[in-house]
Amino acid sequence: MGHTIDYILKVEYLLSPLHRIRALEGAFCNTRGGIGKNVESDLVQEHSVRNQKNLIRHLGSNKSERAITRSTIAAGAVTNIIDQVDESLKLYRPRGKHHKSKSIKDEEIVAKSLRELRPCKIVYLAGNVMVLQTSKRAL
């Protein structure tokens, strides 16, 4: 959670407008095209690593250094070919999103309890530096 707060503080307050845009653009990528189909860069990297590991697993006993190198280089192309063949044969794999729908009631309960607890207090210091103080009650 510390990384998330650090990222938000940098993007919202500390970075210059140019660096802010670069940081936001670097966090997402659009692999399929179209508006609103951006995916987190880490997730794309995780999928790439998973595809490479699957190919290495399927090498069986032929796991030489050269075979592993060749299969990892070809992993992206092999995955694209498999997806296109599945699409042309109308074989659809179940694809899901990585989030569950949130209940509005649950959000209201969490918001109410956070308002009562007051876990963080924002303190402004000289030079407009913002610091988050954790209350002892929240710990």
* CA distances, 63 to each of 55, 67, 74, 88, 135 (Å): 10, 6, 15, 32, 55
What is the per-residue pLDDT for 42?
85
DSSP state of 139: -
What is the per-residue pLDDT for 28?
85
What is the per-residue pLDDT for 125?
64
Q: Where are the domains of the chain?
A: 103-139
Please choose, from the candidates 2, 24, 1, the residue with its C-alpha nearest in 3D space to the C-alpha of residue 11: 24
Going residue by residue through the chain (139 aa), what tens digit of pLDDT does each one get? 677 788 888 888 888 888 888 888 888 888 878 888 888 888 889 989 999 999 999 998 889 999 999 999 999 899 899 889 988 998 877 666 666 666 788 888 888 888 888 777 666 666 666 666 666 654 4
How far apart are the C-alpha atoms of 1 and 7, rounded to whole Å? 10
What is the per-residue pLDDT for 132?
62
